Amino acid sequence: MLKIDLHTIKNHISTPVKIGSVFILICLLISVVALFTNSTVKDEKDKAFQQEINQKYAVFALPLPDKYDFAGEDVPMGNFDVREAFDRELLVNVYWQSQTLLFFKRANRYFSVIEPILKQNDVPDDMKYLAVVESGLMNVTSPAGAKGVWQFIEVAAKQYKLEVSNEVDERYHLEKSTQAACRYFQDSYKIFKSWTLVAASYNIGMGALQKQTSAQNVSSFYDLHTNEETSRYIYRILAVKYIMENPRRAGFHFRKKDLYPHIPLNEVKVDTSISDLIAFAEKQGVNYKMLKYFNPWLRKTSLNVKSGNSYFIKIPASDFRTIRIEDGEFPADSAISAPSQKPVE
């Protein structure tokens, strides 16, 4: 049997091997210390980064008003379902900052056109927020074919006295389409006696809303069970109104000069046909691009004017490209209002 003398083996281990073992041990200790140190430094950097995020990119739950109204009609903010539906749309629109900032910018130009027309037609000023929700104050086309700032489908447009043809589509005419919207609002109000229900009918239709309110035996929108689209539509209007009337409270900061300015326009009456609108624009001192920008209701490069009919074509003033808004910020919690929209001379 083979016997191993451990003492003999120990004595034969060379000194270099012993030194190597010590060196390896020291390296291991250094590595452990380094790992611990790096981990501590990384933790500190992560903490600093997180702190910076918290300071610069804070996200808050938004306080809801205890009392609120739309067009003079109380919103029952004490109802949990109302508060939660309102809260949802408020959060969506506050934290979709790019879109909501564009609402502010465009409203500075277009509310001064819309507001007087609503007033002339005895329609509450709050109804202007339907245009914001419908189109973002842009001449857009929906998948269903609704067009313009007020999103009229062709049948409804013609019913409310808007011209729709190959050459002219007055759904894109802000003043005329706002007048048409006012006629709709008044017709709807005669039925529902509630501006909130009028707003709901603009989304779902008067007939459909009548059936629902009758079937459920309710006279308040907030007691009505309806489809999600119409429900969200109303609460989005409420949220947009709240944000645009309380920009600072909702976290929006901008200067007057950040908004899109009112542009002075002249009107040219046209009672004869125009075969070439591009040449017409040049004679008026503008290019075709600007003619179309201020008259999007012109759909072709020609305009056929029937006998006895006439149109007014808007032409920007000669200095329109240099128009600016006065500097300075809006005061805390102030909404855009028509008097503040005048350009600086």
Q: Which helix (H) or strand (E) holds 69?
A: strand 68-70
57 phi and psi, to 5 degrees?
-125, 45
* Top-ranked range on mean pLDDT: pick from 39-48, 110-119, 249-258: 110-119
Per-residue model confidence (pLDDT) at position 58: 77
Cα torsion 228, 232, 235, 237: sign: negative
DSSP bridge pairs for 274: 303
Give the largest Cα separation in the chain, rounded.
Answer: 130
Tell me the fold of 68-259.
Answer: Lysozyme (1.10.530)
Domain-wise residue ranges, the chain:
68-259, 265-322
Per-residue model confidence (pLDDT) at position 323: 62
For the segment 186-242, what is each residue's pLDDT rounded down to a tens digit? 999 999 999 999 999 999 999 999 999 999 999 999 999 999 999 999 999 999 999
For the segment 262-276, what is each residue's pLDDT rounded down to a tens digit? 899 999 999 999 999
As a whole number, mean pLDDT of residues 325-334 equals: 52
Position of tokens 């909702």? 250
Per-residue model confidence (pLDDT) at position 81: 97
Kindly indicate the confidence band of residue 13, based on its pLDDT and cuts at 50, 70 and 90.
very low
Per-residue model confidence (pLDDT) at position 342: 34
